[in-house]
Amino acid sequence: MNTSATAPETVSLGKNGPKVTPLGVGTWSWGDRLFWNYGKEYDQRQVQEAFQASVEAGITLFDTAEVYGTGDSEQLLGNFAKASDREIAIATKYFPLPWRVFPESVREAVSKSLERLQIESIPLYQVHTPFTFFMSQETLMKTLAEEVQKGRIQAVGVSNYSASQMREAQEHLAKYDIPLASNQVIYSLLNRKIESNGTFQTAQELGVKIIAYSPLAQGLLTGKYTGSEKPSGARALDPKFKSSGINKISPVIDNLQKLGEKYQKIPAQVALNWLITQGTIPIPGAKNANQAQQNAGALGWQLNSEDAQTLDQASQPWLTP
Q: What is the CATH classification number for the domain harbouring 250? A: 3.20.20.100
Buried b (16+ CB within 10 A) or exposed e, 156-188: bbbbbbbbebbbbbbebbeeeebbbbbbbbbbb
Residue 110 in any domain: the answer is yes
Residue 53 CA to residue 47 CA, distance in Å, equals 10
> To the nearest whole number, what is the mean pLDDT of the chain?
92
11-12 and 19-20 strand pairing: antiparallel
Q: Which of 157, 180, 161 is nearest to 170 (CA)?
A: 180
Residues contacting 83, CB < 8 A, separation 6+:
none
- Is position 63 within any domain? yes
Per the CB < 8 A criterion, the answer to whether 221 and 253 are in contact is yes
pTM: 0.93
Q: Which of 102-106, 131-135, 226-230 has the highest mean pLDDT?
A: 102-106
Confirm whether 6 is domain-assigned.
Answer: no
Burial of 134 (0-12, 13-18, 19+ CB in 10 A): exposed
Closest C-alpha among 99, 134, 95, 135 to residue 112: 95
Question: Is pLDDT above 70 for 154?
Answer: yes
Mean pLDDT value of segment 139-149: 98
Residue 148 lies in a domain: yes
Which range of residues forms the domain containing residue 106?
11-318
Question: How confident is the model at residue 40, as a pLDDT?
Answer: 87
Could you report the per-residue pLDDT of 197-213, keeping only the tens digit for each?
999 999 999 999 999 99
Among residues 8, 31, 28, 30, the alpha carbon closest in space to that of 19 is found at 8
pLDDT at 298 over 90: yes
Nearest-angstrom CA–CA distance, 147 and 156: 9
Check residues 241 and 143 and name the one with the higher pLDDT. Answer: 143
Catalytic residues, by residue number, are 68
Is residue 5 in a domain? no
247 in a domain, yes or no? yes
Secondary structure of residue 179 in the 3-state scheme: coil
Query: Contact, 220 vs 249, CB < 8 A?
Result: yes
Contact 286, 25 (CB under 8 A): yes
Q: What is the pLDDT of residue 35?
A: 82
pLDDT at 241 over 80: no
Phi, psi angle pair for 273, to nearest 5°: -65, -35
Domain assignment present for residue 311? The answer is yes
In a domain, 3, yes or no: no
Residue 229: its pLDDT value, please? 65
What's the total number of domains in the chain? 1
Tell me the percentage of the chain whose pLDDT exceeds 90: 82
